[in-house]
Amino acid sequence: MDSLQPVLDVVVAVLLISGALMSLAAGIGLVRFPDLLSRMHAATKPQVLGLLLFLLALAVEFRSWALVPVLLVCWIFQLLTSPVSAHMVGRAGYRTRHMRRDLLTIDELDDVVEKAARQREGGSEGRGVQPGPD
């Protein structure tokens, strides 16, 4: 196993540097991109890949089967929560108009939101609180 150690050290170094570069790309994207949707994309996609590379580096470095389930759980939670949080941020940003519409090629959600707003306005009439006696 001692002859394999320098090769494993190089593999770990490459994985760590690649993961760090992915995380750096996510940070730069948060600062440089012009609108909410672009920043949201930059914050989630490279960051998830960067974490995977870090976790793979840990697995290669420690070479312990006991560590694999922990790393796998960490990866699965990140993989599940990152898209959900990005979706929620994007949805909140869209509804509060914190985005640049001039950067959108097609806005497929606009018609759906307008239709829901019209239904809400039309359906809420007559359901208000009845005025009390004066």
The tens digit of pLDDT for each residue in 19-49 reads 999 999 999 998 998 888 888 888 888 889 9
pLDDT at 55: 95
Say yes or no to pLDDT of 133 above 60: no
pLDDT at 13: 97
Identify the DSSP state of 35: S
Single-letter residue type at 47: Q
Higher-scoring residue by pLDDT: 74, 101: 74
Higher-scoring residue by pLDDT: 133, 7: 7
Dihedral angle sign, alpha carbons of residues 87, 92, 95, 100: negative
Question: How does the average pLDDT of the chain come out, rounded?
Answer: 85
